[in-house]
């Protein structure tokens, strides 16, 4: 940003979140609720498998013997998956409301040289378009 502000002092740079697909948002929301319920069950010590008439698997027995570690594992593992669901990796650049770069389309971030070149080309094109005579019909 500092390099761009030095080169183009009148430029306005804004950042905002790019929402993921609704399916991924719902999966992340479900995981968040499931994580809290699972941590609650681990802390309380209530065996959900006994309610279903099933024998508790070894991982559940382990979680009851190591509650703090199990809760931390559930918390961090769930957060990792939630963050993956919510991350889009978007880096979109617009100039005067015209898209000039999309990481979603290109698959990579522009280098500083590419970014400066893109902005210079777009600004030259805008100046050229402003100097063309306007015809009225």
Please give the pLDDT value at position 129. Answer: 56
Tens-place pLDDT, residues 59-103? 999 999 999 999 999 999 999 999 999 988 888 887 777 788 888
User: Residue 27 in contact with residue 33, Cβ under 8 Å?
Assistant: no
Task: Dig out the tokens for 39 from the structure.
Answer: 């941590």
User: Residue 28 in contact with residue 85, Cβ under 8 Å?
Assistant: yes
pLDDT level of residue 34 (50, 70, 90 thresholds) = very high
Reply yes or no on whether the pLDDT at 13 is more than 80: no
Tens-place pLDDT, residues 111-136? 888 888 888 887 777 665 555 555 55
Point out which residues pair with 98 in neighbouring strands.
95
Residue with tokens 């609650």: 40
Please give the pLDDT value at position 102. Answer: 83
């Amino acid at each position: 940003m500092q390099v761009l502000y030095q080169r183009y002092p009148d430029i306005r740079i804004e950042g905002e979140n790019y929402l993921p697909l609704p399916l991924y948002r719902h999966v992340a929301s479900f995981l968040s609720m499931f994580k809290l319920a699972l941590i609650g069950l681990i802390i309380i010590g209530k065996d959900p498998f006994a309610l279903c008439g099933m024998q508790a698997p070894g991982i559940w027995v382990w979680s009851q013997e190591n509650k703090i570690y199990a809760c931390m594992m559930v918390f961090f593992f769930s957060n990792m998956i939630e963050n993956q669901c919510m991350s889009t990796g978007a880096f979109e650049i617009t100039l005067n409301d015209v898209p000039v770069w999309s990481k979603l389309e290109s698959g990579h971030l522009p280098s500083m040289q590419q970014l400066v070149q893109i902005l210079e080309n777009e600004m030259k094109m805008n100046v050229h378009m402003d100097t063309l005579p306007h015809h009225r019909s």
